[in-house]
Chain A
Amino acid sequence: MPAQKILLYPHPVLKKFCNPVPAIDEEIRRLTEDLVDTMREGPGSVGVAAPQIGATLRLCVVDVSASRLGRENNHGLLVMINPEIVHREGATIGREGCMSVPDYTGDVERATAVTVRFLDGEGTPREVEASGFEAIAIQHEMDHLDGILFLDRIVSLKTGLFRRKSYR
């Protein structure tokens, strides 16, 4: 299956709340393959969500195993259909960028660890406890399924550290 073009904001699909996948049929299998191929194609990409290639369905893929930050701590390729975060803990701020919003990065707060429940590509229910970079990637990709971009989550201007001085 070919890698698809990543849609760029302001494409309206990126701000849509996506529908649950009703059944894992041929079309969903094809979409899953497209997502994986698109992720493999993107330079340094560690995840792609269905709306990024134009499908408003709750389906995303994540694989941080080849990245410097995720190499040591990951679950390999995760195909996540109708994913739900059932537990989150901790908080960390990190700088993120997104293939759908080129040339911009921002500091975003994420849980340090998440437990996510989903159906895998075969329709088997799975539960994964992710932490570190993998947890961040999962949260970022799952945000896409709700039409949320990292721009909606930026917590501070870069200079936020300097806002508190009173001038008297």
Chain B
Amino acid sequence: MTRKDSLAHFAVTVVGKDRPGIVAGATGVLYRLGCNIEDSSSTMLGGEFSMILIVSHAKPFTKGRLLDEFRGLSDEMGLSVSVRPLTRGEAEYRAPEGELCMVSVYGSDKPGIVYRVAQEFARRSINITDLNTKLIGTKEEPVYVMMLEAALPDGIAVEDVAALLDEIKKELNVEISVRSITPVSL
């Protein structure tokens, strides 16, 4: 049921100072080339707008051709464009298995909040599937907020993650909460 057998898949990133027209510009280039946007996520980070897209083309297609076609747009709008060719297996979507959990971490800004949590997860093969961080609060009292979603391997329950993060909570002096967000299948 997929188009995944098509010959060429690329991961394309487009980053530039936010303003109207970036999405229209980038997707216009892809449309004129006959590329499909299979998966994509775009958001504003700081004052930058960033797009990450998995695109495919039904015919053999080179990375160079894609970059060439983006050149006009990137020059005109001051965008950084990168292209990564994907092998067939790489482009394949694999739904995360097992329990999904959402983790909120927030507290006074300090180095290592993301790293310490990610490090403990990596050690236990907990797979981070989504991650957002933001610096909020005031200049005098900056507050760091991190929200992530992770897929738990067999044998690790949401309660185990909570217990694990309890240690980091003390170490970093931040607030951490964990809850199950495994989707209900209806």
Tell me the bound Cα distance from A162 to B148 in angstroms. Answer: 12
Given contacts A103-B95, A167-B46, A167-B47, contact A96 B130 (CB under 8 A): no
Q: Does B43 contact A (CB under 8 A)?
A: yes
Chain A: CB-nearest residue to B134: A162
Q: Does B147 contact A (CB under 8 A)?
A: yes
Which B residues between 87 and 108 are near A, CB-CB below 8 angstroms?
Answer: 93, 95
Q: Does B138 contact A (CB under 8 A)?
A: no
Nearest-neighbour CB distance to chain A for B52, whole angstroms, equals: 13
List the interface of chain A (C-beta within 8 A of B).
42-47, 69, 94-99, 103, 105, 133, 136-137, 140-141, 150, 158-159, 161-162, 165, 167
Nearest 3 interchain pairs by C-beta: A105-B183, A95-B183, A140-B186
Chain B: CB-nearest residue to A46: B186
Which of A42, A94, A161 is close to B184, meaning CB atoms less than 8 Å apart?
A94
Given contacts A158-B149, A159-B43, A162-B132, contact A103 B93 (CB under 8 A): yes
Nearest-neighbour CB distance to chain B for A38, whole angstroms, equals: 13
22 contacts between A and B (CB under 8 A): A42-B185, A45-B185, A69-B184, A95-B181, A95-B184, A96-B186, A97-B183, A97-B184, A97-B186, A98-B186, A99-B186, A103-B93, A103-B95, A141-B186, A150-B186, A159-B43, A159-B130, A159-B132, A161-B147, A162-B132, A162-B134, A165-B134
Residues of A within 8 A of B183 (CB): 95-97, 105
Question: A161 contacts B93, CB within 8 Å?
Answer: no
Nearest-neighbour CB distance to chain B for A168, whole angstroms, equals: 10
Chain B: CB-nearest residue to A138: B186
Which of B47, B147, B184 is close to A133, meaning CB atoms less than 8 Å apart?
B184
Known: A98-B185, A158-B130. 13 other contacts (CB 8 A): A44-B185, A46-B184, A46-B185, A96-B183, A96-B186, A97-B185, A97-B186, A99-B186, A133-B184, A137-B184, A159-B132, A162-B132, A162-B134
